[in-house]
C-alpha cells in the first residue's frame, strides 16, 4: 500500500483538455437528485412474486398493478445514503478488512521487492504481461462469475502497472474490467447464465459453443483496447487521465528502489503465503462457495501471518492495519451514496413500473428490432439492479415469454440479458465493486467514465452484432 499512498488530493481536477471532471461524490449526488425527482413523475407499481423450484424469488408475468405513489421528499432523500451504507455493509466491511490486511503486507516491503523483481524480469517485454492477465481475469468472470474477487488484486497490480510504465487506469482495466468482459459474455457463469436459463425454462448451459466464441471475441476486443491505451501511456505518460496523482505514487516507488535493501527469505515466504492465499480463494469459490466474508477472512489471515513473518511488533501491525483501513473510507462513502440511488427507486416502487412500461412497448415491435430494444432495456434496469442473479429474477420471467410472442428465442433472450447486465457494470456508479476498485486504485469516477465510454460504445456495437447473428441463424 505504501506505493499507492498519495498526498490528500482533490478528486475533482482539470484533465489534459481543460475540462473539469466533477468529484465522484458530486456525480452520484446529481444522479440521486434526478432519481428523486423521477419519483414524483413515475407512478408506483409492483409485480407479484413467487419462489421457484430453485428457491429464487421471481416476478410473475402479467401480475403488474399500479400502486400508490411514494414520492421521495428531501428528508427521505437525505436518509437514502445512510440506508445505502447499511445495504452495502458487506462490501464496505470487505474493503476495510482487505485494505488493512494489504497494508500489513506492504509494511513488510515484500510487495515492493516482488514488484521490482517482476519489472526486472519483464524489462523490455512489459506489454506481454497484459494480455495474459486480462484473459485470466476474463476467464474467471466467464466460468465462476469472478467480479468482487477482483477488488484485492487492485492493491497489488496498481503499483505493478505504474512500475511497468503504465497508469492506475490500466490496473483497473486488466483486473475488474477484464472480469466484466468475461462475466458479460460468459459461457458458464452460474450467477447469470445458469440462473437466467433455469428461469427461462431452457437447458442450463446450453448454447455454450456460441457463447464461447462470443466470450473470446469480446475479450480479444477488450484486450486490444486496453493494450492500445497502455502503449500510448508507456510512450507518453502525460497523456494519462490520472498523470498527476500517479506521479506521486511513482515517486514513492522510485524512493524505495533508490533505498534498495535485501530481498530476504522472510520476504519470499510472505509472497509465497500471499500466492497460497490466492489459490485458497480460487479453490474456495469454486468448491466451497466462498463469498465476501470467507475471502476477507483469508486476506486477514495472510495479513497477520505476513506481519509476524516481517517481524512487526503488535503495535506496528495494529497501526498498519488501521492506516490501511482508513484509506478505504472514501470508497466506502461512495458505495453508500451510490446504493442510495437504488434505495430511493425501491422505496418509491418505480422500478417495476419502468420495467412494465418498457416491456409493453416491445410487444408491438418486429422480432429483430424487439431484440435490439431489449438490450438497452436490460442496461437501464442494470443501473438500478446490478446484481446479476437479482436482475435475472426480475426481468427473465417477463422478457422470456414476451420474446416468445415477438419471435425471439429464449436462448437469445438470455444472451441479451447477459450482455445488458454485464458490460454496463464497468460504467454505472451504482456498481459498488466498480467504485471500490476505483477507490483503491485512486482513479476518480469521472475520469474513468471518460476513459470507458469509447469502449462501451464498441461493446454496444459488438453486442448488436452478436444479437443480429444469433437471431438470423435461429439460435435456440
75-84 pLDDT, tens per residue? 999 999 999 9
Confidence of residue 203 (pLDDT cuts 50, 70, 90): confident
Contact between 409 and 403 under an 8 Å Cβ cutoff? The reply is: yes
Instruction: Give dist(CA 424, CA 375) in Å, integer.
Output: 11
pLDDT: which is higher, 251 or 407: 407
Region 213-227 average pLDDT: 97
Q: What is the pLDDT of residue 409?
A: 92
Return the minimum-mean-pLDDT range out of 99-108, 182-191, 244-253, 442-451: 244-253
pLDDT: which is higher, 14 or 314: 314
Region 145-153 average pLDDT: 83
Q: What is the pLDDT of residue 55?
A: 66
Confidence of residue 426 (pLDDT cuts 50, 70, 90): very high
Contact between 408 and 417 under an 8 Å Cβ cutoff? The reply is: no
- Residue 311 makes CB contacts below 8 A (sequence gap 6+) with 266
Q: What is the pLDDT of residue 404?
A: 86
Element containing residue 305 per DSSP (H, E):
helix 292-309
Q: What is the pLDDT of residue 9?
A: 41
Contact between 198 and 54 under an 8 Å Cβ cutoff? The reply is: yes
Going by the DSSP 8-state scheme, the letter that residue 239 receives in this structure is: G
**pLDDT at residue 8 is higher than 50:** no
Strand partners of residue 21: 13
**pLDDT averaged over the chain?**
87
Region 366-393 average pLDDT: 88
Closest CA to 367 of 413, 400, 408, 402: 408
Q: What is the pLDDT of residue 254?
A: 65
pLDDT: which is higher, 340 or 388: 340
In angstroms, the Cα distances linking 85 to 41, 48, 92, 335 are 26, 28, 8, 7
Q: What is the pLDDT of residue 223?
A: 97
What burial class does residue 346 get, using C-beta atoms within 10 Å of its C-beta: 0-12 exposed, 13-18 middle, 19+ buried?
A: middle
Q: What is the pLDDT of residue 152?
A: 82
**pLDDT at residue 228 is higher than 60:** yes
Place of cell 512500475: 163
Q: What is the pLDDT of residue 1?
A: 47
Element containing residue 311 per DSSP (H, E):
none
Instruction: Give dist(CA 309, CA 60) in Å, integer.
Output: 56
Confidence of residue 260 (pLDDT cuts 50, 70, 90): low
Q: What is the pLDDT of residue 15?
A: 53
Confidence of residue 126 (pLDDT cuts 50, 70, 90): confident
Amino acid at each position: 500500500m505504501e506505493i499507492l499512498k498519495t498526498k490528500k488530493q482533490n478528486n475533482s481536477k482539470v484533465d489534459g483538455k481543460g475540462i473539469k471532471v466533477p468529484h465522484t461524490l458530486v456525480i452520484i449526488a446529481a444522479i440521486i437528485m434526478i432519481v428523486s425527482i423521477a419519483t414524483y413523475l413515475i407512478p408506483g407499481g409492483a409485480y407479484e412474486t413467487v419462489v421457484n423450484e430453485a428457491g429464487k424469488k421471481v416476478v410473475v408475468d402479467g401480475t403488474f398493478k399500479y400502486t400508490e405513489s411514494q414520492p421521495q421528499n428531501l428528508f427521505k432523500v437525505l436518509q437514502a445514503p445512510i440506508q445505502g451504507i447499511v445495504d452495502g455493509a458487506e462490501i464496505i466491511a470487505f474493503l476495510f478488512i482487505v485494505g488493512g490486511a494489504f497494508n500489513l503486507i506492504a509494511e513488510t516491503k515484500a510487495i515492493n521487492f516482488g514488484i521490482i523483481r517482476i519489472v526486472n524480469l519483464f524489462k523490455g517485454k512489459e506489454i506481454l504481461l497484459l494480455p495474459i492477465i486480462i484473459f485470466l481475469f476474463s476467464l474467471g468472470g466467464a466460468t465462476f462469475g469472478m467480479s468482487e474477487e477482483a477488488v484485492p488484486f487492485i492493491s497489488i497490480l496498481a503499483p505493478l502497472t505504474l512500475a511497468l510504465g503504465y497508469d492506475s487506469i490500466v490496473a483497473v482495466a486488466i483486473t475488474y474490467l477484464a472480469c466484466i468482459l468475461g462475466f458479460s459474455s460468459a459461457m458458464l457463469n452460474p450467477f447469470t447464465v445458469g440462473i437466467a436459463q433455469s428461469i427461462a425454462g431452457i437447458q442450463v448451459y446450453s448454447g455454450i459453443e456460441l457463447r464461447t466464441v462470443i466470450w473470446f471475441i469480446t475479450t480479444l476486443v477488450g484486450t486490444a483496447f486496453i493494450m492500445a491505451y497502455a502503449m500510448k501511456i508507456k510512450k507518453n505518460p502525460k497523456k494519462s487521465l490520472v498523470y498527476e496523482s500517479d506521479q506521486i505514487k511513482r515517486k514513492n516507488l522510485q524512493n524505495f528502489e533508490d533505498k534498495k535493501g535485501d530481498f530476504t527469505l522472510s520476504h519470499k515466504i510472505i509472497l509465497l503465503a500471499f500466492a497460497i492465499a490466492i489459490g485458497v480463494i480460487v479453490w474456495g469459490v469454486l468448491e466451497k462457495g466462498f463469498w465476501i466474508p470467507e475471502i476477507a477472512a483469508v486476506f486477514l489471515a495472510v495479513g497477520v501471518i505476513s506481519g509476524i513473518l516481517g517481524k512487526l511488533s503488535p503495535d506496528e501491525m495494529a497501526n498498519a492495519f488501521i492506516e490501511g483501513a482508513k484509506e478505504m473510507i472514501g470508497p466506502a462513502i461512495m458505495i453508500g451514496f451510490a446504493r442510495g440511488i437504488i434505495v430511493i427507486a425501491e422505496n418509491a416502487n418505480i422500478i417495476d413500473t419502468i420495467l412494465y412500461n418498457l416491456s409493453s412497448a416491445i410487444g408491438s415491435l418486429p422480432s429483430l428490432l424487439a431484440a435490439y430494444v431489449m438490450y438497452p432495456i436490460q442496461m437501464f434496469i442494470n443501473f438500478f439492479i446490478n446484481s446479476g442473479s437479482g436482475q435475472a429474477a426480475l426481468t427473465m420471467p417477463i422478457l422470456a415469454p414476451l420474446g416468445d410472442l415477438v419471435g425471439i428465442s429464449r436462448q437469445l433472450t438470455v444472451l441479451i440479458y447477459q450482455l445488458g447486465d454485464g458490460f454496463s457494470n464497468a460504467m454505472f456508479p451504482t456498481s459498488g465493486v466498480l467504485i471500490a476498485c476505483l477507490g483503491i486504485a485512486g482513479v476518480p469516477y469521472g475520469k474513468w467514465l471518460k476513459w470507458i465510454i469509447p469502449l462501451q460504445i464498441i461493446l454496444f456495437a459488438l453486442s448488436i452484432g452478436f444479437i443480429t447473428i444469433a437471431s438470423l441463424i435461429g439460435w435456440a
